[in-house]
Structure 1
Amino acid sequence: MNVTVNVTRKKGPLYLQVKNILKDRILHGIYPIDTNIPSEPQLESEFNVSKITVRNAIKELVQEGFLETKSGKGTKVIRNTSASKLSKGKRFTEVLVEEGHKIQKQLLQAEVICNQEDTEPYQLFGEHCLRIERLYHLDGVPYIHYTHYLDARRMEGIEPSDLHVQSLYGLIEGQDISLERFRDGFAVAVAPFHVEDRLHVKKGTPLLKRSRYSYDEAGDVIEYSEGYYNTEMQHYVVNYDI
């Protein structure tokens, strides 16, 4: 189910905001490949924007190769993967979407917190940071829990409503921050109790834990995140193109 989003001019051109939301839905399988996206009047109503705004958003996605428009037949999704800085291959979620799965994001919480000493967020961002908790559902079942920590001073323009439907990294880059490098670490770990509860796994269940550091072009850490994957549901896959 899509969350209605109020796009506003203070966030930039309206058509680009609509475009980014539609693109995110395509990449997560909300609009599956070879199916039509909602009609122009439906999108105008959902986003409360003009016909020309919707048409410009669709035009951009057609030019990028995600959509195809045919008179009398609507607008069809023809591609559901994107170029990624994270690796030479596809994002993990894109692999799942290509296999016919649907990924839905749920925002659990977004708030500025006081970091505890001797923790990774404190070492990276000082006494305060923006913490975002998100849950990813695989075909309707909780699958991945993510906690993101970001420099609160550089994220003042991000609103919680944006996090429901748009890519976090896209929102970061919307703050005029270019993410140039990522470092991932993988381990097998038992998740905190509240994460086990969110993922509906038994207490003490070993899960795949991914820790990520995202750096800007100056080499500063912009984001630190911890993700727990219930790999009993679906193995973590890395696909590389040579």
Structure 2
Amino acid sequence: MKRTKILYLEIADKIKNDIISGKYPVGSLLPTETELEALFQVSKITVRKAIELLAADEYVEKKSGKGTTVLSNRPYNKLSKAASFSQVLQKSDLHLSTKALSLEIKELKKEHRLYQNFGEKVLEYRRLYLLEGQPYIYFSHYLPMKLAHLTLADFATGSLYRLLNLEGYEIRSFEDDFLAVQLTPEHQDILETKETIGIQRIRKSLGDDGRLVEYSEAIYNTNRHPYQIEYET
């Protein structure tokens, strides 16, 4: 799941992580090539290859005489041309917030669907999305035990996928399945609804080697707002 350490790839990863963490905000300029050479103590060619890689992945844009501008801080912005659902809601002037519910280690039996991917134990992170202050999406994420050193506060402070990226996990593809499901009493209680039908999204996030990095189940109360997909050009 982690890249072999080739120097320019390593430099590109460090700069990308700084972009994702907010050190270099979207719209800002990266340090000059000369400054990056001094910062990382590498050659000009190595810096240029790293910047070319970041540009190819659409994190930055380099313009002659103007420097290198940060275009995106989304960890996986090249995986899909679809805008994230949270971005769609924000464009509609709807406020979406997140509430971290729990972080627990779960033991899996051999017959469990995730046993072959995670083994005997898996880290379960549960959270709730609030739309205009009302419960809207209930998430359950299942993650590798290598992340067990993190706290609930670590997960609550920002994007899960940024956190995975900063922890060294490279996600190369997503697989999403959507289906209508009967809401359980637990779902109704958490989502504060009497609706009996909701939409379930099952996501599999796969790493470089095709192995599962994250498995998640999300339950949407689409009576509050329909699920929308907006494709970027």
Q: TM-score, normalised by structure 2?
A: 0.68
Percent identical residues: 29
Could you list the per-position Cα deviations for residues 135-157 of structure 1 after superposition, in whole angstroms to 9, with x for gaps in the alignment?
A: 000010000000000111x2144
What displacement does 1:235 show? 0.6
SS of the aligned residue for 2:130 comes to: strand
1:86/1:237 CA distance change after superposition, 3 Å? farther
Partner of 2:203: 212
1:16/1:136 CA distance change after superposition, 3 Å? same
The letter for the 2-side match of 1:60 is P
Q: How many matched pairs?
A: 177
The letter for the 1-side match of 2:139 is Y
1:175/1:157 CA distance change after superposition, 3 Å? farther
CA contact (8 A) 1:157 1:175 kept: no
CA contact (8 A) 1:80 1:98 kept: no
1:157/1:191 CA distance change after superposition, 3 Å? same
Partner of 2:95: 102
CA contact (8 A) 1:158 1:171 kept: no
CA distance in 2, matches of 1:195, 1:86: 30
1:86/1:235 CA distance change after superposition, 3 Å? farther
- Please report the RMSD computed on the Cα atoms of aligned residues, expressed in angstroms: 2.8
The letter for the 2-side match of 1:238 is I
SS of the aligned residue for 1:120 comes to: coil
Could you list the per-position Cα deviations for residues 92-126 of structure 1 after superposition, in whole angstroms to 9, with x for gaps in the alignment?
A: 11000111111111110001111244332223212
| Greater radius of gyration (CA) | 2
Q: How does 1:72-151 map to 2 (within 5 A)?
A: 84-151=77-144
Partner of 2:223: 232
CA distance in 1, matches of 2:106, 2:151: 16
CA distance in 2, matches of 1:157, 1:169: 17
1:80/1:196 CA distance change after superposition, 3 Å? farther
Partner of 1:198: 190
**Structure 2 gaps, min length 5:** 1-13, 30-70
CA contact (8 A) 1:105 1:165 kept: no
SS of the aligned residue for 1:189 comes to: strand
CA distance in 1, matches of 2:226, 2:199: 9
1:147/1:174 CA distance change after superposition, 3 Å? same
Q: TM-score, normalised by structure 1?
A: 0.65
